[in-house]
Each structure stands twice: as C-alpha cells, then as structure tokens.
C-alpha cells in the first residue's frame, strides 16, 4: 500500500470543513439577526481583508473545533443510529434487532437514550416520522438478498475458523450476531485488497463528514430556535432549513455507513481465505 499523506482527506472532510461550517453558519445567522455583535464583526473583517495571521488562526481553530465535533458526533449521531437501526454489518445480513429502547441493558442505558433523544431532538423527530413511519429508512437500511446473506455468513465463519478454530464451533446465526465480527472482516478486507483500500478510505471520510454535518445542523436548529424564542422573532427560515438539512445529512451518513460495511463484505466474498490467512491448526 502506498504511504498516505499525514494530512489526509479525512482531516479536511472530518475536521477542517465541519469546524469551518459551524463557525461560518453561526456567523451568517448573527450577521442577519444581530450584525453589530463584536466577535462576528471581527470575523467579517478577517475574511474580507484576508488578514493572513488571523486567517491562519481561524483555520487552526476550525481544525481543532472539528475534532471536538467528530468526537461528539461519534457518541451521539452514530450511537443513536446503532441503537435505533443496529450496525450496518448486522442489518445487511438480516440479523434481528430489538430496537432503540429494548436493547438497553439497565436503567443507566435507558437514561443515556433519553438524554440522546433530547439532544438530537430535531434529527430524532424527523427520523421518527419520515424513517420507519413513511419508510424513508428503506433508502439506507436495506439488507442484502438472502443468497448474499448466506454466502457472506459462510465466509465469515470460514475466516473466523482460519484465525481461531476454537471460536468457530457451533457458530450459528444467533451466536454470530453477538460477536463484533465486522471488525475482523474490515481489517481482513483492507489488508488483502489494495484495489479496494482507497474506496473504503473514501467511505470512512464521507460517512465521518456527514455524521459531523448532521450534528452541526442539529445544533444549529436548536440554536436558531432558541435565538428566535429568546429574541421574540418569528423568522422560521433558519429552523426549518436546518431541521431538513439535519435529516438529509443523517440519511446520507447512513447511506455511506452502510456502503462501507457492504464494501468489506464484497471483498471478503471474492477473496481466497485459504491463500491469505494461514490455518492455525
């Protein structure tokens, strides 16, 4: 595999752009609603006059902010998606999922799920009405056909058998669904197929970017609604626009999240496990 630049595509899509989007979105809202606010007037001067030193600081700050956004989106947007729909690697194989609330193991889990619903209220609300109710979820939660499911499970069992024979005994669907088998499949697929490495990396960058974007629009929806209520305005353009953008970003995130898992499975299906993995017997 060719060496990657330390500053990769994910740094731009996953960190720099989301951080910049959040800063400039807040800037635009405040320019329209309150153009005299000092911090945003300063931002306008930096952008218009292109003051290099301050512009460089702004880029660095956007990049740092992007890391925080990425972290919080992974424990909110991605966590919600996994709790609500299960992991793509599992619903692709038609494995049963109990649902958002029934997968909670204790009261602490219930508590975190309640907190997540409150924090992600714009995204959760639209997902509730447009996802399962109006079947929008079929665009991003489609499983593989039964034939592909069967041969994929067979190849997963064969891969596990080659890696650790003692753990492959009586590995039925129920037991397999309890394992984090996709982590093994992903690493195997990435290491054994150079032709698919760039595609898998691009999918990671895209679903990471869209996951961050979803969180940003979710935050902007709450911010614009709070701003509207606190200032007594009736401008619904921003809340409506950001709410729709939140769910569109969520659907796009789920789409590439699924494609990333599907790509790993397809590489596994066409690979020769006997040649690439030594049998530990």
Q: pTM to 2 decimals?
A: 0.84
**Ordered per-residue pLDDT tens for the chain, 281 residues:** 445 555 566 677 777 888 888 877 777 776 665 655 545 555 555 555 555 556 677 778 888 888 899 999 999 999 999 999 999 999 999 998 888 998 888 899 999 999 999 999 999 999 999 988 888 888 888 899 999 999 999 999 888 888 877 766 667 777 888 888 899 999 988 888 888 888 888 898 889 999 999 999 999 999 888 888 887 777 788 889 999 999 999 999 999 999 999 999 999 988 877 666 655 54
Specify the pLDDT at position 54.
Answer: 63
Q: Using H for helix, E for strand and C for coil, what is the string for the chain?
A: CCCCCCCCHHHHHHHHHHHHHHHHHHHHHHHHHCCCCHHHHHHHHHHHHCCHHHHHHHHHHHHHHHHHHHHHHHHCHHHHHHHHHCCHHHHCCCCCCCCCCCCCCCHHHHHHHHHHHHHCHHHHHHHHHHHHHCCHHHHCCCCCCHHHHHHHHHHHHHHHHHHCHHHCCCCCHHHHCCCCHHHHHHHHHHHHCHHHHHHHHHHHHHHHHHHHHHHHHHHHHHHHHHHHHHHCCCCCHHHHHHHHHHHHHHHHHHHHHHHHHHHHHHHHHHCCHHHHCCCCC
Specify the pLDDT at position 1.
Answer: 44
Pull the structure tokens for residue 88. 């793509």
| 183: exposed, middle or buried (Cβ count in 10 Å: 0-12, 13-18, 19+) | exposed
Nearest to 209 by CA among 48, 20, 13: 13
**C-alpha–C-alpha distance, residues 132 and 240, integer Å:** 21
Dihedral sign, Cα of residue 138, residue 141, residue 126, residue 29 = negative
Specify the pLDDT at position 216.
Answer: 93
pLDDT for 218-251, tens place per residue? Answer: 999 998 888 888 877 777 888 899 999 999 999 9
**C-alpha–C-alpha distance, residues 241 and 253, integer Å:** 18
């Amino acid at each position: 595999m060719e060496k990657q630049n330390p500053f990769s595509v994910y740094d731009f899509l996953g960190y720099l752009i989301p951080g910049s989007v959040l800063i400039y979105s807040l800037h635009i809202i405040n320019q329209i609603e309150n153009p005299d606010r000092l911090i945003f007037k300063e931002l306008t001067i930096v952008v218009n006059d292109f003051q290099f030193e301050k512009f460089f600081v702004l880029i660095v700050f956007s990049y740092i902010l992007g890391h925080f956004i990425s972290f919080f989106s992974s424990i909110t947007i991605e966590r919600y998606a996994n709790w609500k729909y299960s992991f793509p690697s599992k619903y692709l194989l038609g494995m049963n999922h109990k649902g958002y609330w029934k997968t909670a193991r204790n009261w602490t889990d219930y508590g975190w799920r309640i907190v997540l619903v409150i924090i992600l209220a714009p995204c959760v609300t639209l997902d509730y009405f447009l996802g399962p109710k109006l079947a929008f979820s079929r665009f991003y939660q489609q499983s593989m056909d039964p034939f592909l499911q069967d041969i994929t499970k067979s190849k997963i069992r064969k891969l596990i058998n080659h890696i650790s024979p003692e753990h492959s005994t009586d590995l039925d669907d129920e037991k397999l669904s309890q394992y984090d088998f996709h982590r093994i499949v992903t690493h195997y697929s990435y290491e054994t197929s150079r032709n698919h490495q760039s595609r898998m990396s691009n999918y990671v960058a895209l679903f990471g970017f869209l996951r961050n974007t979803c969180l940003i629009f979710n935050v902007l929806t709450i911010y614009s609604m709070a701003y509207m209520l606190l200032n007594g305005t009736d401008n619904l353009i921003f809340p409506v626009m950001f709410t729709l953008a939140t769910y569109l970003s969520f659907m796009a995130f789920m789409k590439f999240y699924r494609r990333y898992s599907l790509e790993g499975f397809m590489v596994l299906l066409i690979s020769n496990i006997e040649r690439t993995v030594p049998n530990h017997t």
